[in-house]
Amino acid sequence: MSDHLSSATWNALVDGELIAEELASVTEHLHSCPGCTSHALEQSLLKTGTARAGQRYALPDDMRQRMEHLLAVQDSPSHVTEGSEAAIRPAVQRPASIRRTEWLGWAMAAMVLVLGAGLTFVRRNDSRVHAAGVERAALVTEVSDQHFATLAANLPPQVLSSDRHTVKPWFQGKIPFSFNLPEGLSEDTKLEGANLAYLHNRPVAQLLYSIGKHRVSVFVEEKTAGSGLGFPMEEHLGFRLVTFHTNELNVVAISDVAPGKLTELMNLFERAQVD
């Protein structure tokens, strides 16, 4: 039975994503397996059905014309020439009174230069802070997205076990680092399993816990240069994210559970890494 095609293969088959060798192998299997043939047919019907059902909303009659007009207006010469005319007008029509006070303009230009030099220094620092902010926001979004997708999908974890000695070894060969799972969890906290996930296009461990009825995702990633998660706790769309780092790992947890409970789990996690 383990020879049956996986759902990923059925999907790739109906989506036309199999390469020639894979397709030949799958076709050969389908010839001899009525069960998989039935599933593949069902998958194919689901795809054509959603393709048909998804074509639901027709473009309003006049919208195409309005959009064409909008693009034409954006492209009209007035849009281009207005700016250029404005740029050359002062040079052509310079009144005599302005010439008399020309020195004032030069003085202001000098002041702007001095200010500009000062601002460059400040901006250099600001851009570093800004880059860190952007990186942090991207991480928060990516972690949240992964967590929401897990909640929304409501499928079993890839490794479904509450035993840390089962969950941890499952990652061997799947991620290029190792980590410890905490023991001595509080009574309402339970390890539900784990998934192999991706953050920043790198494989990470997504450990799934429940605290009461709340679900928690703990992402463990390898620490690389510049991948430090620079916030201890942050809120995003009503969820809280808590992080800590070791010399080799970045760990971030996300949940809507009470902050104290989430911090308690993360403290246990952090202690487990040094044990």
Partner 1 sequence: MTLLPWRHTGKETSGRSSLFEDLALPLLPALYNVAYWLTRNATDAEDLVQETLLKSLRGFEGFEADSNFKAWIFRILRNTYLTSRSGLAARRTVALEEELDEGGKLGPGAYPEAAIDRETPELNLIRLADRATLQSAMEKLPPPLLEIVLLCDVEELKYKEIASILEVPIGTVMSRLARARAHLRKSLEGNTFTREFHA
Pairing of strands 202-211, 189-199: antiparallel
Least distance to partner 1 from the beta carbon of 275, Å? 26
| Consecutive H or E run containing 89 | helix 77-92
3-class secondary structure, 156:
coil
Backbone φ and ψ of 264, nearest 5°: -60, -45
Report d(CA 136, CA 47) in Å as an integer: 37
Within positions 85 to 144, which residues make up the interface with partner 1, using CB under 8 A?
none
| Contact residue for partner 1 among 45, 108, 134, 137 (CB under 8 A) | 45
**Binding-site size, partner 1 (CB under 8 A):** 62
Report d(CA 88, CA 85) in Å as an integer: 5
Report d(CA 137, CA 271) in Å as an integer: 27
Least distance to partner 1 from the beta carbon of 38, Å? 5
Decide whether 66 or 130 has the Cβ nearer to partner 1.
66
Decide whether 74 or 172 has the Cβ nearer to partner 1.
74
| Contact residue for partner 1 among 18, 29, 33, 47 (CB under 8 A) | 47
Work out whether 63 is an interface residue with partner 1 (CB under 8 A): yes
Work out whether 20 is an interface residue with partner 1 (CB under 8 A): no
Q: How many helices (H) and strands (E) are present in the chain, helices listed first?
A: 9, 6
242, 253 contact by CB (below 8 A)? yes
Within positions 145 to 164, which residues make up the interface with partner 1, using CB under 8 A?
145, 148-149, 151-157, 160, 162
| Two structure tokens written together for 68 | 């064409």
- Nearest CA to 220 among 248, 240, 201? 248
| Contact residue for partner 1 among 38, 127, 186, 267 (CB under 8 A) | 38
| Contact residue for partner 1 among 25, 31, 98, 198 (CB under 8 A) | 198
Least distance to partner 1 from the beta carbon of 238, Å? 7
| Consecutive H or E run containing 43 | helix 34-54
240's CB contacts (< 8 A; 6+ apart) are 233, 234, 254, 255, 256, 257, 259, 262
Decide whether 208 or 266 has the Cβ nearer to partner 1.
208
Q: Give the interface with partner 1 as residue ranges (CB under 8 A).
A: 7-8, 11-12, 15-17, 38-39, 41-43, 45-47, 49-60, 63-64, 67-68, 70-71, 74-75, 77, 80, 84, 145, 148-149, 151-157, 160, 162, 190, 192, 198, 201, 210, 212-215, 237-238, 256
